[in-house]
Amino acid sequence: MESKTFVYDIIIYLYTLSLLFSFSDTIYKNRKAKWIGTGLLIIVWILQSNFFILRMIDNSYFPILTMFETLFFFSWVVVTISLMLNFILKHDLFVFTVNVAAFTIMALSFFSDSSAIPTLRNWEIHDELLFIHITLAISSYAFFLVSFILSCLYLMLFRMLKEKKWSNYLKKLPSLEKIDKFAFLSVMIGLPLLLLSIILSIIWMVLTDHLLYLLDLKVMNSLLVLVAYIFYLFKKLKKHTTGNKLAFWNVIAFVLLLINFIVSNYLSDFHIWIWM
């Protein structure tokens, strides 16, 4: 247990160093700092993967059931996306912002009980539907998070351009068109994942005769989040809505998702196995 805690601490320290080097590159355009930061982030990803695999072997289940495991896996997915974006977009400020978000999620897991044991009153621990449902949901949240960050950057850049507030930071951001495109693609990936996650949860309710869970706050809010992102895609595909309005709606949709993730977990009976 102490060795695992040591590995977790090393991950936090290396991640902090990675962010410091990336921040240095973002501010001072230091290419050497960028590559050191990226290299440290790759090491962080490897250590996260190793930590996750060891926990899975020790506990004999896919570790995404407790709050600690959920946040840790969420962070791992975001770091994975960040590494891919680092080589695709090559826009330092955006990638740095995504990494800060991933670090924040991982830091939050530090305050959860890593030794907590999940209580599965209605689920079987080997029920594949459970693990696929949660994995898909968390993965969708990660893509929605990236889309949210892009939309925030879009609104910031749109306002700066509208008010003619020229800055060197504008050069560190993609164009409005590219930001809008990648925000849309992130939602296009996240939405099917969320839809499949919800479908699997409904299938479980039918198979286990727990249809009353359809009225559960967590399920209702998840459906509301799904509708919000479908509405965003509808507006985007109709091409009658301006980019800043689409970005604003995307931000609203993510706020709904955040409320669903934070508040509903404490008020819902559907995800009753999760312990802090």
DSSP string, 47-97: HHHHHHHHHHHHHTS-S-SSHHHHHHHHHHHHHHHHHHHHHHT--HHHHHH
Q: Structural domain of residue 204, as residue ranges?
A: 119-276
- Whether 118 has a pLDDT exceeding 70, the answer reads no
Which of 115, 146, 179 terminates a domain? The answer is: 115
On whether both 53 and 129 belong to a single domain, the answer is no
| 250: nearest Cα among 265, 230, 270 | 230
Which of 68, 99, 115 terminates a domain? The answer is: 115
In this prediction the pTM is 0.85
111-128 mean pLDDT: 56
On whether both 103 and 131 belong to a single domain, the answer is no
SS3 163: coil
pLDDT digits (tens, 9 = 90+) for 41-77: 999 999 989 888 888 887 777 777 777 888 888 999 9
On whether both 40 and 130 belong to a single domain, the answer is no
| CB contact burial 97-121 (16+ within 10 A = b; e otherwise) | bbbebbbebbeebeebebeeebeee
Question: Could you count the other beta carbons within 10 Å of the beta carbon of residue 206?
Answer: 10
pLDDT digits (tens, 9 = 90+) for 185-214: 999 999 999 999 988 888 877 877 777 777
| 69: nearest Cα among 148, 13, 125 | 125
On whether both 111 and 127 belong to a single domain, the answer is no
On whether both 79 and 206 belong to a single domain, the answer is no
Please tell me the distance from the alpha carbon of residue 244 to that of residue 270, in angstroms, as a whole number: 36
Please tell me the distance from the alpha carbon of residue 220 to that of residue 203, in angstroms, as a whole number: 16
On whether both 160 and 276 belong to a single domain, the answer is yes
On whether both 153 and 260 belong to a single domain, the answer is yes
On whether both 102 and 138 belong to a single domain, the answer is no
Q: What is the largest CA-CA distance in the chain?
A: 60
On whether both 108 and 5 belong to a single domain, the answer is yes
pLDDT digits (tens, 9 = 90+) for 124-149: 544 677 778 888 999 999 999 999 99
